[in-house]
Amino acid sequence: MSEIRALNGLGDIDKGARLQVEESLTPDMDIVIGGFGPVLTGFGTRLLTPFNEAQMEEDPGVFVELTYEQAMDLNAKLSATLNKMTRKR
């Protein structure tokens, strides 16, 4: 596996890239959200954004492991936020 590298800047972000969601192979974890990569910004590499397919081929990316309960909580929070955003449009 290659070393995780940072994208060179905000211009390298692919706004059409999508995250991977899979079942985890890690004990005591259930869900993997994968395909993130760090981006160099004025604040260092604190920003993580989704990789597109080509970027994932050359870089392993960053993966978030969640329990079932954590994934359900994240799902509820995303749903609530998207619902608020939809009402504003």
- Check: CB of residue 52 under 8 Å from CB of residue 12: no
CA distance 65 to 36: 12
**CA dist 60 → 26, 38, 73, 78, 81 (Å):** 17, 11, 26, 25, 29
Residue 20's nearest CA partner among 45, 57, 47, 46 is 57
- Listed by start position, the domains of the chain span 10-88
pTM for this entry: 0.76
Residue type, 66: L
What averages of pLDDT result for each successive group of 10 residues across the chain (89 residues)?
Answer: 77 92 94 92 89 83 93 96 92
Q: In the 8-state DSSP scheme, what is residue 20?
A: E
